[in-house]
Amino acid sequence: MLRHTVKAFQDHPNIGLIKVVIGADHEELYTKAVGDLLQESHIIGGATRQESVRRGLEAFADQPPKLILIHDAARPLVDSGVISRVIEALDAKPAAIAAMPIVDSLRRETGGAVDREGLWQVQTPQGFWYDAIITTHRASTDDLATDDATLAERAGIPITLVEGAMSNLKVTRAGDLTTAEIFLAARLGDIRTGSGFDVHEFEPGDHVTICGVRVPHTHALKGHSDADVGLHALTDAILGCIGLGDIGSHFPPTDPRWRGADSAVFLQHAIEGVKERGGLVAHLDVTIICERPKVGPHRAAMVARVAEIAGLRPDQVSVKATTTEGLGFTGRREGIAAQGIATVRLPFV
Ligand code: MG
């Protein structure tokens, strides 16, 4: 959750410094979650929410920013629209918070309907003029406020409500995580399938490289790079998902840089293209077509290697093999062919 939250703010063009306030015993979790994303040191929180926020604010006191946004890490699905609305409102107003108008009827457990007119559900981020909110926090140490807007309002600072988002939910109760995952999956709802096909011819040699694994053989495969048909087919399949041409257009055989190159580089380049579009590779499936060498004994190693190169779990990778029953060039053992399919999830744009 923290990683999603931090990335949401990091990806926003108007956010400068991000500082995370954590519990004293959460150092290891913090490093694992966002250690590679944030260069800034984190802050150890206090006994209450208010105390933790105050310590976070004080961490900016050396070089005070004009504006500051306070956000719950438990709202990992905050989007750039919500962040922008809070920031824009701070142009003219000292405090702006994300909130949603209540649409459901309200009722007290003990009986009696509550008029929902004018009632809003408060979310975060809550944005403030830095000077105003740090002054307020320094003056209020009774730790009674459940959020910073309440604290600011008690100090006489007017609060502006801006529209939050349904998806900006606070993961609190059992089941909220599932809801969050559904929202997250829907963001990557543009599901693409791409195919790739490759052939390399045999030449004299003693091994071939298939799906990143060296396999001893009576011949080698001829090619400019390491001639890994499996990785080439998968690279083209991924490029196909994002309409980014083919392997030859990215790594021309005329370029001496790719002489004897490890084809892992090609596959990773294609995956990088997916990541740049905010997407991910969901599944890779490749069929190796040849009479010899036998792929079966090396299949598990190939799955493991492709998964490693692609940054996927082994269950997201499939390597299969077939012969052509002695027919055609593969049947005559003149070379090896491979057919790859990739499934990629991209955000809707
Ligand atoms: Mg090739």
Expressed in angstroms and rounded, the spacing between residue 149 Cα and the centre of ligand 1 is: 60
* Claim to verify: residue 179 and residue 202 sit in the same structural domain: no
* Claim to verify: residue 164 and residue 256 sit in the same structural domain: no
Return the pLDDT at 78.
97
Put simply, whether the predicted model's pTM sits higher than 0.75 gets the answer no
* Claim to verify: residue 263 and residue 306 sit in the same structural domain: yes
Return the pLDDT at 41.
86
Expressed in angstroms and rounded, the spacing between residue 90 Cα and the centre of ligand 1 is: 55
* Claim to verify: residue 234 and residue 301 sit in the same structural domain: yes
* Claim to verify: residue 144 and residue 286 sit in the same structural domain: no
Phi-psi region of 20 (alpha: psi -120 to 50; beta: other; left: phi over 0): beta
Expressed in angstroms and rounded, the spacing between residue 195 Cα and the centre of ligand 1 is: 14
Q: CATH number of the domain at 307, please.
A: 3.30.1330.50
Expressed in angstroms and rounded, the spacing between residue 227 Cα and the centre of ligand 1 is: 6
* Claim to verify: residue 206 and residue 314 sit in the same structural domain: yes
* Claim to verify: residue 147 and residue 212 sit in the same structural domain: no
Final residue belonging to a domain, choices 187, 222, 239: 187
Final residue belonging to a domain, choices 187, 206, 231: 187
Q: What domain count does the chain have?
A: 2
* Claim to verify: residue 22 and residue 134 sit in the same structural domain: yes
* Claim to verify: residue 171 and residue 210 sit in the same structural domain: no
Expressed in angstroms and rounded, the spacing between residue 232 Cα and the centre of ligand 1 is: 5
Expressed in angstroms and rounded, the spacing between residue 222 Cα and the centre of ligand 1 is: 9
Q: For tokens 């490093």, what's the residue? A: 31
Expressed in angstroms and rounded, the spacing between residue 254 Cα and the centre of ligand 1 is: 13
* Claim to verify: residue 225 and residue 317 sit in the same structural domain: yes
Expressed in angstroms and rounded, the spacing between residue 345 Cα and the centre of ligand 1 is: 25
* Claim to verify: residue 339 and residue 195 sit in the same structural domain: yes
Final residue belonging to a domain, choices 187, 202, 219: 187
* Claim to verify: residue 39 and residue 172 sit in the same structural domain: yes
Alpha helices in the chain (DSSP H): 2-10, 27-34, 49-58, 80-89, 130-139, 148-154, 176-187, 229-241, 247-250, 264-276, 299-310, 328-331
- In degrees and rounded to multiples of 5, residue 19 shows phi and psi of -125, 135
Q: Is the separation of the CB atoms in 232 and 198 below 8 Å?
A: yes
Mean pLDDT, 10 residues at a time, over the chain (349 residues)?
95 95 95 92 93 96 97 96 98 97 94 94 97 94 81 94 96 94 89 98 97 97 96 98 96 90 97 94 98 97 98 97 97 98 92
Expressed in angstroms and rounded, the spacing between residue 281 Cα and the centre of ligand 1 is: 21
Expressed in angstroms and rounded, the spacing between residue 304 Cα and the centre of ligand 1 is: 21
Residue 60 belongs to domain spanning: 2-187
Return the pLDDT at 143.
67
**70 DSSP β-pair partners:** 126
Expressed in angstroms and rounded, the spacing between residue 192 Cα and the centre of ligand 1 is: 23
Expressed in angstroms and rounded, the spacing between residue 191 Cα and the centre of ligand 1 is: 26
